Amino acid sequence: MRMYDILRSKRDRVALSPEEIRFFVQGYAKGEIPDYQAAAFIMAVFLNGMTGEEMLAMTNEMLHSGEVLDWSDLPGLKVDKHSTGGVGDKTSLILAPIVAAAGVYVPMISGRGLGHTGGTLDKLESIPGFNVRLDARQFRDVLTSTHMVLAGQTGEIAPADKKLYALRDVTATVESIPLIASSILSKKLAEGIDGLVLDVKVGTGAFMKKQADAQALADTLVMIGTRAGKRVVALITEMNQPLGTHVGNTLEVVESVSVLKGEVGGDLAELSFELAAQMLVLSEAAQDLATAKQKVKELIENGAAFKKFQDVVVAQGGDPVALEEISRMPTANKTKVVNAERSGIIQQIDAEGVGVAAMIMGAGRATVDAEIDHAAGVVLHCKVGDPVDKGASLATLYYNDESKQAEGLARLKAAFVVADHGPAPTNLIHKVIS
């Protein structure tokens, strides 16, 4: 088998066999196939697509290029959630404790933030002492004792995907559904889960800007995940304005705690509870969605979900008191408020704009190795559709670095559009695909 012939087939829209996909993925992971041949391959995939068989083979080969966790000794079906990423999306911090509180194992491996979207690991590290760098033994211990774990990779998960992703990033081949789907699924299936709920975001603040693209990705993820033998559900959800009101690491932990304690509702609570309910159905902890939603409600109301979050914080070395005494977490020295320049209805809060403002102040990373400021971020005082009076505070910028305040504030201000009328109402959850 030669990479040249594989390139030729992909170029000519001849479907590749599983053996050819294996040859490529294994060869590339081992460094036997050079970057330039892999680059030509992914551009050909970008332009000519892949069949379901090819995507399944890509997923399986990338999955098996590294460590695959195994929890078959633990009872029940293990589930997780994956989101394609948005601004203010802290649902993982809420749904994992809910599902674990229902007795379902959630072995959640998360990443760090890049660009205008945050990362679960960064958010967790706002909690003093919280250790996301667990070794395999610690990971298993935490999962076994608390039914959940929130950590980074233990061993080497899907190294072929890691290498290929870096190449896609510099060859303008990121936005390819076959490549996105196989990348997401290979990493998530390596967690050793039985079921996966996917939150495919669509809108101005999301990777997928158009409904049709989000739909195509969701359909593909469900198809490939199912063919890989897993229970998979995908939700297409709106990401035009930030999810919830808090953006930035400490701030997002604070908001998550409020939702877990049942203190606040709104879009963040609605989506987190929906995703948690879907996970309960997938894991057979609930017979149907209505029962699952009732169970979620109970676990919030009886304090079990918040208690579970406290437990996992303790299990991973964190300070549980910080969850209720914010001052124990990194907090900002300075704040600036953005005020409404006119009265009217909030027509738009550009999610990407808010995310970039927070990133500029240090909440996120412009480059992979940038340092972040856990205290920095944004709190919204209104959501799209709310009426506001001239001079009312729209949002507060939290920061420590005065030198970037003007730029951050300008970006935050520009994210708001106040008009005579609000936009047509839309649904938070557009569609559920299973």
Q: Return the number of the residue (44 or 206) whose C-beta is nearest its own copies.
A: 44
What is the C-alpha to C-alpha distance for residues 315 and 149, in angstroms, rounded to an integer?
9
366 binds its own copies (CB under 8 A): no
What is the C-alpha to C-alpha distance for residues 174 and 232, in angstroms, rounded to an integer?
23
Q: What is the token pair recorded at 418? A: 């106040």
8 binds its own copies (CB under 8 A): yes
Q: Which listed residue (1, 4, 406, 419) binds its own copies by CB under 8 A?
A: 4
Q: Return the number of the residue (159 or 385) whose C-beta is nearest its own copies.
A: 159
Q: Which listed residue (17, 26, 37, 331) binds its own copies by CB under 8 A?
A: 37
Work out how close the CB of 337 gets to its own copies at its nearest, in angstroms, rounded to a whole number: 37
11 binds its own copies (CB under 8 A): yes
36 binds its own copies (CB under 8 A): yes
Work out how close the CB of 48 gets to its own copies at its nearest, in angstroms, rounded to a whole number: 7
Work out how close the CB of 179 gets to its own copies at its nearest, in angstroms, rounded to a whole number: 13
Number of residues near its own copies (by CB under 8 A): 24
Q: Return the number of the residue (35 or 213) whose C-beta is nearest its own copies.
A: 35
Q: Which listed residue (7, 114, 304, 428) binds its own copies by CB under 8 A?
A: 7
CA pseudo-torsion sign 330, 331, 336, 339: positive
34 binds its own copies (CB under 8 A): yes
Work out how close the CB of 167 gets to its own copies at its nearest, in angstroms, rounded to a whole number: 6
What is the C-alpha to C-alpha distance for residues 215 and 220, in angstroms, rounded to an integer?
8
Q: Return the number of the residue (172 or 321) whose C-beta is nearest its own copies.
A: 172
Q: Return the number of the residue (160 or 189) whose C-beta is nearest its own copies.
A: 160
Residue entry with tokens 């679960």: 120
114 binds its own copies (CB under 8 A): no
Report the greatest alpha carbon distance in the chain: 69
Query: Residue 389, exposed/middle/buried by CB under 10 A (0-12, 13-18, 19+)?
Result: exposed
Count of C-beta atoms within a 10 Å radius of residue 284: 14
Work out how close the CB of 44 gets to its own copies at its nearest, in angstroms, rounded to a whole number: 5
Q: Return the number of the residue (23 or 46) whose C-beta is nearest its own copies.
A: 46
Residues in 154-193 that interact with its own copies by CB under 8 A: 167, 170-173
What is the C-alpha to C-alpha distance for residues 136 and 144, in angstroms, rounded to an integer?
12
| CB-based contacts of 106, cutoff 8 Å, min separation 6 | 78, 79, 80, 96, 99, 100, 143, 147, 148, 149, 279
> Segment contacting its own copies (CB under 8 A): 46-54, 95-103, 345-353, 406-414?
46-54
Instruction: Please report the beta strands in 140-230, taking only residues with DSSP state E, as ranges in sequence order.
Output: 148-151, 195-202
Residues in 393-422 that interact with its own copies by CB under 8 A: none
Q: What is the token pair recorded at 130? A: 């919280």
Q: Return the number of the residue (44 or 279) whose C-beta is nearest its own copies.
A: 44
What is the C-alpha to C-alpha distance for residues 142 and 190, in angstroms, rounded to an integer?
18
CA distance readout (Å), 30 to 34, 39, 58, 159, 163? 10, 16, 16, 10, 10
> Segment contacting its own copies (CB under 8 A): 29-37, 77-85, 261-269, 364-372?
29-37
- Write the single-letter amino acid at 405: Q
> Segment contacting its own copies (CB under 8 A): 2-10, 75-83, 190-198, 292-300?
2-10
Q: Return the number of the residue (49 or 128) whose C-beta is nearest its own copies.
A: 49
370 binds its own copies (CB under 8 A): no
Q: Which listed residue (21, 29, 44, 99) binds its own copies by CB under 8 A?
A: 44
Q: Which listed residue (16, 21, 29, 38) binds its own copies by CB under 8 A?
A: 38
Burial call 401-421: b when 16+ CB within 10 Å, e when fewer: eeebbeebbebbbebbebeee
- Note whether 158 and 192 are within 8 A (CB): no
Which residues on neighbouring strands pair with residue 380, listed in sequence order? 395
Annotated catalytic residues are: 82, 161, 168, 183, 187
- Which residues contact its own copies (rule: CB under 8 A)? 4-5, 7-8, 11, 34-44, 46-48, 167, 170-173
